[in-house]
Amino acid sequence: MKEKARAAKQEGRVLGLVPTMGALHAGHLALLQRARQECSPVFASIFLNPKQFAANEDLSRYPRPLEEDLAKLKAACVDGVFLPEALEMYPPGFSTYVHVERLSERLEGRSRPGHFRGVTTVVLKLLEIVQPNYAYFGRKDAQQAGMVQKMVRDLNVDTEIVLCPIVREEDGLAMSSRNVYLTEEERKAAVVLFRALKAAEEALHSGVLDTVRLQKAMRQVLDAEPRAKVDYAEVVDAETFEPVVQVGRRSYALLAVHVGSTRLIDNLLMESDGDGVRTVL
């Protein structure tokens, strides 16, 4: 695949990359569809990156349906699939990592120490190997995508990061490879994340811009679900991911919630233009 990518660059074609850890779902396929609209050729990578999992996390049980994934990628008409082994990405003696200061130390970074160092390191390696013009990421992992965008800017990487909408189930649950961990009862309870974000959205549209009140609206919904244990429910600036007093020009309401043993994240994008607030779930 690397040879195909190099040939495409030499021919002056617009190359798109969709990095994944496998266990593909409709959210990944939406990224591929967007990439195909804007690029040719389009490549996907599947690499379950051990560097972004802590010792107590779910690397050993993370779903690995490789044959199903390859069939989905073939049906999506990708032009190539990069399937590196861990030793190829991290040879013996590997000791060089990418750390984005401040942005990697809050929220997900606080809850999952070392996670973002693993993410930014592997993404930089993938971008250097494939050298795409565009790389596509989903907005569900908003902080991760923001960190990758900052890394690309700071290190002058010649790839544009494209952030794509969240893809949801019919009841609003954001699609995630980890949803397969949920029992039937937990799956029903997991919709509480979407309902909490809807509560914040309704408060916004009624004129509430104060973040303490918005966070309270989300917590009231979350705390009423006995199967949910909140890690965080915060409103932050969409670029710095620092807390804000009130919704600004571009902000996120961010959630991380354990439902049973499964940790789920979701968010609401809020954009203010002076005439009101536009929300995107």
| Catalytic sites, residue numbers | 28
CA–CA dist 167, 158 (Å, integer) = 28
Q: How far is residue 222's CA from residue 216's CA, in Å, rounded to a whole number?
A: 10
| Amino acid at the residue 101 | E
Return the sign of the alpha-carbon dihedral for residues 108, 109, 115, 119.
positive
Residue with tokens 């809050």: 106
Cβ atoms of 48 and 85 within 8 Å: the answer is no
β-pair partners for 29: none
Q: How far apart are CA 76 and CA 136, in angstroms?
A: 15
Rg (CA), the chain: 19
Cβ 133 vs Cβ 258: under 8 Å: no
Phi-psi region of 207 (alpha: psi -120 to 50; beta: other; left: phi over 0): left
Beta-sheet pairing, 80-82 with 42-46 = parallel
Compute CA distances 204 → 78, 160, 224, 241, whole Å. Answer: 40, 32, 21, 19
